[in-house]
Each structure stands twice: as structure tokens, then as C-alpha cells.
Structure 1
């Protein structure tokens, strides 16, 4: 296991950094792409037209607790912009994985490394099937949001855990230069499932109530409900061959109620903005895999059904 966790951009050196493309530049892609570009690493942001137009007009506004800057960075809404990239970060929503792969496939250089910076546990495998080439799964620990087109606000954390791959050292060096902590670990499948269980606990309920994590934890009966969600996730992960530490997971869910007390889930933000959520790839994924193994996941199923119903109701009233 190797780790790189520089706290701030290192001094510029005369070296050739890998060229990065960020496909799906929004909150997550905008944050990491912005941090790399701010440090002088060559980056192309590929995103929606409104985001791209704003970045082209005034740079990417990246707002963090440490700085609020406009960063000059190349931006395009065409997947062909990834053609010269050495490293491609795929940051689209889980439901767009196959579409992203189909768009990127004709334009990837033979030597390009593709990293999946996405929620859920199966995106790298799905992307790999479409691209016909290896994809590196990455666990992303960052709280960020798009405040307006071309404006990304960082709320906390930012570290990445990457599965091992031959070019990892060069990629880690670029991220370290940009002040982004990284770790390479063979335990990425366990880490992805751990993150999935936490997302299943909080995302749906935050979306249903439109309330942050601290408020949820303070409501009678909610801690017990979240514990049951986690318990179901642990059982399904075990059936998938992934051993999780349930006690550590339950402790982390409780800790998040304090450390991220004011955080609204990404599912909640999507629902409030009338956008498709990733619920099918969170609680819905757990339900589907439970069924495949002859298991029941009734709390995850209820949360999945409720968010789907709310999503449909929003779509019909739009």
C-alpha cells in the first residue's frame, strides 16, 4: 500500500505531468480537475454545455475553506477532447456510465489510463465492459457541490483511494503536486462497499425528508433504522464475497451524524433540483444483489421505493 498526502500544491518543477481529462466535470470532476489545473497539471474538463461555457468565459471558480479562485482550464462538451489524455477521470453519475463509455471509446489513446471516480461498487466493471479495456476503481471521499455553472464549492475532505495499476506512481505524484491526498490499496472493493453502506444509510432518508444528517440522527427511531440499513448491506456484501466490519461501519455512521451534521445528501440535492438520482445504484443495487442471493433487504427496499416514487412525482409535476 502506498500513500501520498501532500497538504498543499508543491512548488512548480520542470517536469512533464500526465495530461488529464475529466469526463463528467461537475462537483466531483470540477473539484479534482480544478485542483490539478490550479497546480499547473494539464487538464481538460469535459462537461455539460452550460458548465463549459461558464468555464470558458471566466475560468473555473473553485471555492474552498482555504481559497476562492478562478482557475484557467481547458473545457469542452465533446468527448473528443479526451483524445490526447494520459489519464481520464470518469466522474459521471452511475446511470450514465454506459453512455459515458460509448462516448469516450473512439477517442481514448491506446496508452490512456481510465479511472472511475463514481458512487456505487460496479461502475468500473460496467465501464470496462463498454470500453473493452481496464478501468481502475477509485473510492472518492469528498463533499463538493456545483453552486452555479462553472462554480464548484468544496465542503470537506478530498482524499482518493485507488486500486493498484502500473501507472499509479505517476498519477499519485500529480495529485500530490495538486494537494490531493491519495492512497493505493488492494482493499478498494471493501472500501467501495463500506462507502456504499454509508450512502445507503443516509442518502435516501436525507432525500425523503430534505434534511441533513445531524437532523436525521436526532429523530426518534432513525438511528435504529440506519443501523438496520447497514446490517442489510453487510449481509449482502458477505454474499458477494466482501467482508465488512459491521461494528466499525455502525460507528462511522454515528460519527458522520456529528462530523457532517449540516450535510445534505447528493440524492437529496438531485431530488430537490428535479434531476435523476443514483438511488438505483445505491439502495436499489443492494436490493437487487440481495435478491440474486436469495436474501431480503426490506429497509433498503422501502427507501429505494420511496425515493423512486418521489422522483417520479417530481418529474410529473415539472
Structure 2
């Protein structure tokens, strides 16, 4: 199986690097500067599961042609339009696109661009970063890549991808028959975490220790579960019990990448996650003022960032 990995950053570099290390046929679609750095230094990974320095295949956008089986997309949601445009020269009616992005709004955009049958669903559970020196560093033992057919069930292409990743160390890749359900479960969890930590500008434990904090977070959780159920994806009792407990943990340091982006004066995925949920809540009649407030907060932040008025700007 020939895999095209869009980017060699934190996620793409880690998952693609582990596939290359295991002997998989993977090519990294990167910008010229990253291609030069990879040619000179190799793809370097620092990880609790073992470090690696790998010679890898790269290609830049102007040289891209068809000939791949699956393209794995790990861009931020706000870079989706550019990623679609970059990928078009490789689309040949055979290659499938596996997006590993937060949220759900990217699925419709990709299906409109490439056709419903050419888009898979995917999830990543990993904490990793691309260091300034170009090294991909895995930050803890999270290492999961999950994917499947959006229409449900199993397929030869998802089974082949799982088999390609099977010998890779430091990660677990799994093809599942219910990827939409799992994507909605992540959306409920991530949406709740993002709304609460962005509005409060605090980690879960810091919110939970404040009077009314637990009730606030659990109320947002219930609203997001109602949104998912209205889309045909009810949350299992075990899921709700797990996340009610998580959003009650007073010592938790858990915060979202969206909060880190805001605190780091970076672009955020607010429109793609908070906007999606706020629109769905309004359309479905789910009463949750926090949804609209979180989206307003993110939009105001983006306006301030665009005006270069953030602290330190």
C-alpha cells in the first residue's frame, strides 16, 4: 500500500515516521524548506517508545501526481482549503483520503471536493509536537490512530492500511466498523473541553475547584450529548459516566489545544469546532448559552489577533 502523508509535523511526522520505520511505503508531502531539512537531517523522532532517525521519501506540491492508495491528512482545520487544493493533483478516482482532524465539518468539505466514496473517517489520540529544531517529540504514551468507512462496516482498503501499520512500533492503528460513532464521541468530549476551557481560560481542574464549575461543565457535556443524539449518535451510558467523572476531577490539568492556541496567540479551530456545535445547538433547539458565548469569544479573539492587539503583539 502506497501512503501519501500530508505534512511531516507532529502527527504526520510521528505516524508516517513509524510507518516508514516499519518498512511501509510512505511519502511525505511537504514544503520545500521541510523537504530540504528532511534530506539533510532525516526525520527525527523522540519518544517513550524509542527514538528514531529515518531517511524518508518526500515530495513537494508542484511535483505531486497520482499513484497513491491513501492520503493521510493531518492539517489543522483552518488549513483545510489549502490542503484540498494541494491534494487535487494526486486524486485519480482510486486514492482515498483519510483526514485526522478535530471536529466534523471537514468531512462534508472533503466529500464535496473529492466524492463521498473517496473519503474515510479518522481519529488520532496522541500528544506530540514539532520542536523548533525539526524533531518530532511524542509527549506521553498516547499513540492511537483509528479509522474506518464513513458508511460503516469493514473494507479491503481499511484492512490493508491497518495491516501496513501493524508492525510499526510506538503506535496502534485500528480499522473500525463504526467510525462515525467514534468521531461523534470525540466531538462531544472535545467540544465540551474546548467550550469550557476556552470560556474560562483554565484547565478542567481549575474550573472544577471553582463554585459551580462542575455543574457548568457537566451541563455543557449534556448539551453536546443531546446534539449528537439528534444526529443519530447517542452517547453510551459508560461514555457519559466516564466524562462526568473527568469533568469533576479537581486536580485535573487537562486543557485543550484550542486553549493553548489562544494563549500562544496562534490561529484557533474555534470556527470549526465551536461554530459547528453552536450552529447545531441553535438549529436543534438545544438550550446552551455557553455554546454561543464560546464561539463569540473565539471570534473576538481572532479579530483581536488580526489587529495585532494581543498581549506581546
TM category (shorter chain) comes to 0.7 to 0.9
1:284-309 C-alpha deviation (Å, 9 max, x unpaired): 21111122223333112212221222
Bigger shift: residues 206-215 or 32-41: 206-215
The aligned runs of 1:278-297 (5 Å cut-off) are 278-297=269-288
- Work out which of the residue numbers 192, 195, 198 in structure 1 matches 2:186: 195
- Work out which of the residue numbers 119, 134, 138 in structure 2 matches 1:150: 134
Identify the residue that residue 137 of structure 1 maps to in structure 2: 121
Q: CA RMSD in A?
A: 2.6
Within the alignment, does 1:161 sit opposite 2:146 as a pair? yes
Deviant stretches of 4+, over 6 Å: none
Q: Is the 8 A contact 2:31 2:61 kept in 1?
A: no
Identify the residue that residue 20 of structure 2 maps to in structure 1: 37
Distance 2:296 2:232 in 1: 26
Q: Is the 8 A contact 1:20 1:43 kept in 2?
A: yes
Structure 1 pair 286–94 and aligned structure 2 pair: CA distance change class (3 A):
same
Identify the residue that residue 2 of structure 2 maps to in structure 1: 19
Structure 1 pair 42–289 and aligned structure 2 pair: CA distance change class (3 A):
same
How far has the Cα of 1:213 moved from its partner? 4.1
Provide TM-score, normalisation by structure 2: 0.84
Structure 1 pair 184–66 and aligned structure 2 pair: CA distance change class (3 A):
closer
How far has the Cα of 1:273 moved from its partner? 3.6
Bigger shift: residues 38-47 or 191-200: 38-47
How far has the Cα of 1:115 moved from its partner? 1.0
Q: Is the 8 A contact 1:214 1:261 kept in 2?
A: yes
How far has the Cα of 1:224 moved from its partner? 2.0
Within the alignment, does 1:102 sit opposite 2:85 as a pair? yes
The aligned runs of 1:195-214 (5 Å cut-off) are 195-207=186-198, 211-214=202-205
Q: Is the 8 A contact 1:200 1:300 kept in 2?
A: no
Identify the residue that residue 178 of structure 1 maps to in structure 2: 168
The aligned runs of 1:247-286 (5 Å cut-off) are 248-252=239-243, 254-255=245-246, 261-286=252-277
Structure 1 pair 129–193 and aligned structure 2 pair: CA distance change class (3 A):
same
In structure 2, stretches of 5+ residues that fail to align are 149-153
Distance 1:215 1:303 in 2: 18
Between the two proteins, the alignment pairs up a number of residues equal to 300
- Work out which of the residue numbers 291, 300, 306 in structure 2 matches 1:315: 306
State the secondary structure of the residue aligned to 1:157. coil
Identify the residue that residue 298 of structure 1 maps to in structure 2: 289
How far has the Cα of 1:22 moved from its partner? 1.0
Distance 2:103 2:78 in 1: 10
How far has the Cα of 1:216 moved from its partner? 4.1
How far has the Cα of 1:136 moved from its partner? 0.5
1:201-236 C-alpha deviation (Å, 9 max, x unpaired): 223444456654444444443322221111111111
Bigger shift: residues 214-223 or 168-177: 214-223
How far has the Cα of 1:59 moved from its partner? 1.5
Distance 1:263 1:151 in 2: 24
Distance 2:196 2:40 in 1: 38
Provide TM-score, normalisation by structure 1: 0.83
State the secondary structure of the residue aligned to 2:166. helix
Distance 1:191 1:74 in 2: 32
Distance 2:50 2:259 in 1: 27
